Structure 1
Amino acid sequence: MIVKNIIFDLDNVLLRLDSSATAKKFQALGATDLGPLSQYSHSTPIVGFETGKISAREFRSTIRSSIGLPASVTDEQFDEAWNAALLDFPKGRLELMRTLKKDFGYNVYLLSNTNAIHVEYINKVCLKDSKQDSLDVFFDKVYHSHEIGHRKPSREAFEHVLKDQGINGSETLFLDDMPDYVDAAKTCGLQAAQVDVETDLGFLQLRF
């Protein structure tokens, strides 16, 4: 099938992660119960934060209580721990987005389950080597779950992008590291494939 549009996931596809780092940081700060963090995809406060239903202040307060974090831990220390899993972008990863747009004519989008604290950190720290301060410059449009009110793998998340851009799912390739999200995209009529941050994305330069 023809591909005119590519939708990328962010974490563990374009951005390197250390999935255990956040729990370790919170434990070092004195957290007594890391269980709520281990249920990341289903944790009520995390889902609420990543769909924009609760504020950063409410999120910090809820997580502090649920993991038994000492009251002496500051917001800055909390955010440092929360952001610890976010590492960096492999060399050439973001530049490929520009190449796909400019040289191959694809419409390139980002659809990420994320939150305000992570996005601020990515813009300030993870993008430093690229000399940019926003992911927006690399994509035709960026869709963050906390801004659109929907998380993958919900149908609403995929349909939001398709409707907002006026594009056809059958002409759109979705790339994610989570099998459930890939399957969900397919049920919405998109082409989809599972990749991760170690996958060589050079195959995308072979025009579909």
Structure 2
Amino acid sequence: MSLAIKYEELEAIIFDLGGVIIEVDMGYPYRYFAEHSSGDNDILIQDLRAIALSYEIGKIADQEFIEKVRETTKLDKTDEEIKTIWNGMLGQVPSELGELLYKIKQEKKTFILSNTNPIHIAEVEKRFQQSITQYPLNNLFDEIYYSHNIGLHKPDQNIYNYVIEKNNLNPQHTLFIDDNIHNVNSAKALGIQTIHMNPPMNLPAIMEIIDN
């Protein structure tokens, strides 16, 4: 694999979180709820995704999210059980990313830009610290932008413009790495350098390629 991106020409790198830094199975909670609920699975998943979007742009808080999930699925689950199912999409953080991200931060401006929510972030930070004990997540990036904090959601182009303008970045010298092709294409349309990261690609391999 070859990429037309040269590391030395980059001023900043924007990383997605799920699927780039932490392993994810985005469909897990939806499959679980569909398998354990009655009724039309397609409608159920559509309704759950709408609830999740509201949660991920900060329109509803944790407790309202949990109650809406319980009401929609009609499952007799406690708050903690719903949180556990929701966190079931999260995997592990590869331990080798600690030193890699630390090195990149010494050389470039680095950012996280993630569609996410408070329940997931609490769990991500815990798993990150378990895997990468030497560096807290917040110390490895200049700024971290979570959708629920800024009220914007990828692939809406406003979210990329928000980060670019906030940090006075030059899109042509900024790299965005994401595992969702729609997010990548949206950023690319703004002139941002992009890499669509999907298996078997991983972050160390990508950085090695563009650094050569």
Report the TM-score, using the length of structure 2 for normalisation: 0.84
Is 1:14 the counterpart of 2:21? The answer is yes
Tell me, yes or no, if the aligned pair for 2:111 and 2:144 is still in contact at 8 Å. Answer: yes
After TM superposition, give the deviation of residue 189 of structure 1 in Å. 1.9
CA RMSD of aligned residues (A): 2.5
Whether contact under 8 Å (2:56, 2:115) holds in the other structure is: yes
Q: Which has the higher helix share?
A: 2
Stretches of structure 1 that go unaligned for 5 or more consecutive residues are none
Distance (whole Å) between structure 1 residues aligned to residue 99 and residue 93 of structure 2: 10
Give yes or no for contact 1:7–1:108 (8 Å, CA) kept in 2. Answer: yes
Return the offset for 1:131.
Answer: 2.3
Cα gap change, 1:76 to 1:134, in 2 (>3 Å): farther
Question: Is the Cα contact below 8 Å between 2:28 and 2:88 reproduced in 1?
Answer: yes
Superposed, 1:1-208 pairs within 5 Å as 2-23=9-30, 25-26=32-33, 30-32=36-38, 34-35=41-42, 38-39=45-46, 43-70=49-76, 73-102=77-106, 105-131=107-133, 134-196=136-198, 198-201=200-203, 202-205=205-208, 206-207=210-211
Q: Which amino acid aligns with 1:67?
A: T
Instruction: State the alpha-carbon separation in 2 of the partners of residues 131 and 47 from structure 1.
Output: 32
1:172-196 residue CA offsets vs partner (Å, 9 max, x unmatched) = 0111111111110011221111013
- CA distance in 1 between partners of 2:139 and 2:46 (Å): 33
Q: Give identity over the alignment, percent.
A: 30
Q: Which runs of 5+ in 2 are unaligned?
A: none
Structure 1 outlier segments of 4+, above 6 Å:
none
Aligned length: 202
Counterparts in 2 of 1:126 and 1:27: CA distance versus 1, 3 Å: farther
Identify if the C-alpha distance between structure 1 residues 144 and 63 changes in structure 2 by more than 3 Å, giving closer, same or farther. same
CA distance in 1, matches of 2:183, 2:155: 5
Q: What per-residue deviation string (whole Å, max 9, x for no partner) do you get for residues 69-117 of structure 1?
A: 22xx211111011001101112312431111122xx1111110000010
Quote how far apart the aligned CAs of 1:160 are.
1.0
